[in-house]
Amino acid sequence: MSVMNRLRPLLAGLILLACAARPASVPAGQAVSPEEAAAHLERALRAVATLQARFEQLHYSMAVSEPLRERGELFLQKPDRMRWVYKDPQDKVFLYKEGVLEMYLPEDKQLTRSLVSREALESDIFGIFLGTISFEEAYVIEDSPFPTEATRVRQIKLTPRTEGEFTHILLEIDERTWLLRRAIFLEWEGNKREFVFSQVRTGVRIPAGTFSLKVPPDTEIIDDTGHADRGGR
């Protein structure tokens, strides 16, 4: 018997062992379930300590044909701090910190300060980024493809289990990082808000003073009770 003939049974056995030890591969093109995609996003966002990103925000209204486009930069620091800096077409700042939302409009010389309820926080973009909600508990999660130019993304639809401001939310998730790329909030009246995120970086050093607002002395300050005064902060 030749050496090759003697080795053939051994080689066959080794091949069988290798096949048995190798985990079954996922068929090409098979995506994770919508529930799994939402869970991946939830875990990714909860693992984030700091985040910085560019964003584009679009406001679609039933009353006008073209959406209002706004652009700016987002800063996030867990557990409860966010700053949205708008630069185009109008300068403005939204600062959320410890349950209080401040909106500063430099052109109008006005700062509005209001309390944000947990319910309002959890149902909006703030709650998604801050990781305050459980998608599985708060929403019915489904597949819902919608037009996109992005690749390697997962798109899902969230329908609130309890009726609220939005009929549903569409999310586009980056499959490489499982972080949010797009979020579309659809209102009962037919209006919708869309957020598109780019240049997303996590674990970044947030500059000191990012989560405080310093405004000129002649700024009008309106608090959540409707009281107005003049001053800086």
Q: Looking at the domain assignment, is residue 154 inside a domain? A: yes
Place of tokens 């930069």: 73
**CA–CA separation, 200 vs 179, rounded Å?**
8
pLDDT tens digits, 87-114: 999 999 999 998 899 999 999 999 999 9
Tens-digit pLDDT profile for residues 130-170: 988 899 999 999 999 999 999 999 999 999 999 888 999 99
Do 146 and 154 meet the contact criterion of CB atoms below 8 Å apart? no
Q: Give a yes or no: residue 14 inside a domain.
A: no
23 domain-assigned? no
pLDDT of residue 80: 93
Note the pTM of the prediction, 2 decimals.
Answer: 0.81
Q: Is residue 7 part of a domain?
A: no
Whether residue 153 is contained in a domain is answered as yes
**What's the CATH code of the domain at 188?**
2.50.20.10
pLDDT for 13-70, tens place per residue? 333 333 333 333 334 445 699 999 999 999 999 999 999 999 999 999 998 889 999 9
Residue with more model confidence, 223 or 172:
172
Mean pLDDT of the residues in the chain: 85
Name the residue range of residue 123's domain.
Answer: 31-230
62 to 49, 163, 166, 188, 189: CA distances (angstroms) = 38, 21, 15, 11, 8
Answer yes or no: is 92 within a domain.
yes
Q: State the pLDDT at residue 119.
A: 80
Q: Give whole-number Cα distances, 199 to 34, 51, 84, 137, in Å.
A: 25, 10, 15, 30
Total of domains in the chain:
1
Q: Which two tokens stand for residue 68?
A: 């209002």
Dump pLDDT digits (tens) for 175-184: 999 999 999 9
Report residue 117's pLDDT band, with 50, 70 and 90 as the boundaries: confident
Work out the percent of the chain whose per-residue pLDDT is above 70: 83
Task: Look at residue 203 and tell me if it is in a domain.
Answer: yes
Task: Pick 76 or 233 by higher pLDDT.
Answer: 76
Any domain includes 211 = yes
